Chains A and B, each alone.
Chain A
């Protein structure tokens, strides 16, 4: 029998979430138009530091899902998802996903009070950027105890925002099994090489540790469990971003299809166009539902998080693929130009899939989680 793992009330915006959405949309409309986003990505840091600090300070986005004892607001992941939907809508290149979601959830998930007390307050205030290494893709990272403490060796590729992050949370092998480490990288012992990327709004780096000093976070043997739940939280965060990006694409196409005339009519009056947009709406509403459910599951620490996260990934990557393809196509030639923002969204959609898994990857994972993979001997 089918069973939902979250309260249906969490599937809709509460009054607080509606207000948060409104404030963010206003701020981001002012600061993150398509031209600003391009400028921000071309800047040395890759994002706008002033906006980053305003998001943290004025609105408190960074601390939404951080407990009050560590300088956060003690809200839930559902509120954080609202913020990510809005930043995803405009493709803001601020490193929220890497800092607040991946690194933030890794610290919280470790249960290491000392590490949390040290790094979460600056993370919540916007003073610290952070990311994770060795979580998303296989990496050859080891840690060993030297005379001056733990040091990291080896390399991790495709590290999101890896070049600029102030703190790296690293999953590394030790003599006692895998363990999580916090490393504030230094050029003397850590090389960070930015990769040329498909999606300039989300940077990636190859990180090479050459005996970089690091501190253990949490206990030995915990790392793979933490990494699993951190990556799931990342998928759920990404799903919210995808809903925002898809909704933007639909809005932009609707505007264009209502204004652009051919054969003496607005192209949006042709059924061939209307029906495609209706189908896109159906996909986006499905994505929105799956995303809201997955956020609610993370918020309530439900047992069904892995299933909900992968289901959201299937629904949201599917919707984003369709939305970005239609974004280009329904703008005709203009949608294929460099100047038009549509390709930035195509880049984001496809780049994210490469980082966090395609819909097909997630279907396979789900089959395993749901008992759809085994042969008859398992029954």
Chain B
């Protein structure tokens, strides 16, 4: 293939560009100063979330406009058609610079929703949505789960009823990250209650400022709110905002979920690295057991990165992002737990009581946030089912009474 730069050249080029547009992060020597947040789910007020989102958007637009966003996308969408792992190479370089930390709404928009639109959207929809989403002018959230449809997502009860040139949506969605800043919500709806549950589903993109859409934050166990519940009260959606054919919504949903698993492979790596830095800077020698525990976390994080590279390298080789991505997500949630365990061991009482010391009590945000990802984006148990049934080919669980 021509036009694909050598990985090392690409990195160097990325570094050159980054140093022109961003400030370098303080180096290791500066351990003990700067932002010590290791929050897994941000703990911000609405105003803070908006402010941070705006700053991140500005950075994403700079990237996009100067040819460093959408790296794997075709030129018509502002991309460079590079193999998928170049995104990872870029991110490794970007990590050395002081740029805004992307909250969940950004990967949801760019890595989950945009690829699904590319697969399922009409030409008109692709023209209308893809570039603005990749550039984050528009931000999309997932209106998927409901109180009675969690792991069994196909049991959704939010209804969409035809009404002239569009549809009227009514229902209640929950566990939506970024609903307060999103401009669009990708909504999984039941359009036909009389067919088996997977067949009666259709997906729509709903404007989050449409009349009838109400967003209410949910306070999670970290104390903060990054999830929301969203009420849809007779919301009108034009048929042109339907994604994929009527009744094919389950397949559209699976496309988004597969991308979500793929994107989850990088979870927890920053904090694992940070915990290893904590081990290096602890003001006492590590015990033998602590050394083994820290080295164990290093291996976990290394292996997680390698799994990610193998999954994305397989994408380049032309394979679909398969169920294998569940391997990455399960590995990632285990890394997050191992990070908590190491930090607990290293910090002792300073993890449980705030002494005001930099980089200590802040880890409670990781400890309390990490369990969320074992549930979000397909619980660990669902990932295991996916691996067992779709990768290993084991027989399916006998279904219950529901359709």
Contacts and interface: CB of A to CB of B under 8 A. Distances in A.
A311 B302 contact: yes
Contacts of B398: 265, 269
A376 B284 contact: yes
B92 A3 contact: yes
A274 B294 CA distance: 30
A40 B7 CA distance: 47
A257 interface: yes
A311 B303 contact: yes
B251 interface: no
A254 B387 contact: no
Contacts of A314: 295-296, 299
A123 interface: no
Given A274-B389, A278-B383, A373-B291, A289 B310 contact: yes
B309 interface: yes
A368 B400 CA distance: 53
Nearest to A7: B7
A50 interface: no
Contacts of B397: 269, 271, 274
Nearest to A308: B302
B85 A367 contact: no
Interface in B317-334: 317, 324, 326-327, 330-331
Contacts of B313: 8-9, 11-12
B276 A12 contact: no
B85, B304, B394: residue with the most chain A Cβ atoms closer than 10 Å: B394
A279 B387 CA distance: 9
Contact of B303 (A9, A315, A376): A315
Interface in A243-273: 250, 254, 257-258, 265-266, 268-269, 271, 273
Contact of A285 (B280, B288, B307): B307
A281 B303 contact: no
Contact of A258 (B273, B381, B395): B395
A282 B331 contact: yes
A12 B312 CA distance: 11
Interface in B253-304: 269, 273, 276, 279-286, 288, 291-296, 298-299, 301-304
Interface in A321-379: 360, 362-364, 366-368, 370-376, 379
A375 B285 contact: yes
Interface in B60-79: none
A261 to B, nearest CB: 10
Contacts, number: 164
Contacts of A268: 388, 394-395
B286 A367 contact: yes
Nearest to A377: B285
B353 interface: no
Contacts of A269: 394-398
B14 interface: no
A102 interface: no
Contacts of B119: none
Interface string A283-323: 00110111011000000000000000001001100000000
The interface size bin for chain B is: 35 or more
Contacts of B331: 282, 285-286
B37 interface: no
For the residues of B in contact with A, the DSSP-based class is helix
B151 interface: no
A275 interface: yes
Given A281-B387, A367-B286, A372-B279, A275 B307 contact: no
B12 interface: no
B24 to A, nearest CB: 11
Given A2-B305, A278-B384, A281-B392, A363 B291 contact: yes
A9 B312 CA distance: 10
B393 interface: yes
Contact of B317 (A2, A12, A277): A12
Given A258-B394, A278-B383, A372-B291, A12 B283 contact: no
A362 B301 CA distance: 16
Contacts of B305: 2, 4
Contacts of A367: 286, 291-292, 294-295
A1 B395 contact: no
B381 to A, nearest CB: 7
A372 B276 contact: yes
Given A274-B385, A275-B388, A292 B310 contact: yes
Contacts of B352: none
Contacts of A373: 285-286, 291
Contact of A254 (B288, B310, B385, B393): B393
B347 interface: no
A257 B303 CA distance: 28
Given A285-B310, A286-B327, A364-B292, 11 more contacts: A2-B269, A265-B398, A269-B396, A275-B388, A277-B392, A278-B330, A290-B306, A363-B296, A363-B299, A364-B295, A375-B284
Interface of B: 7, 85, 92, 95-96, 269, 273, 276, 279-286, 288, 291-296, 298-299, 301-307, 309-310, 313-314, 317, 324, 326-327, 330-331, 381, 383-385, 387-389, 391-398
Interface of A: 1-4, 7-9, 11-12, 250, 254, 257-258, 265-266, 268-269, 271, 273-275, 277-279, 281-282, 285-286, 288-290, 292-293, 311, 314-315, 360, 362-364, 366-368, 370-376, 379
30 contacts: A1-B96, A2-B269, A8-B85, A8-B313, A9-B313, A11-B306, A11-B313, A12-B317, A266-B395, A268-B394, A269-B395, A271-B385, A274-B384, A275-B385, A277-B388, A278-B383, A278-B385, A278-B392, A279-B330, A279-B384, A285-B324, A290-B299, A292-B310, A311-B302, A314-B299, A364-B292, A367-B295, A372-B294, A372-B295, A372-B298
Please give me the 3 A-B residue pairs with the lowest Cβ-Cβ distance, nearest first: A375-B285, A367-B291, A274-B388
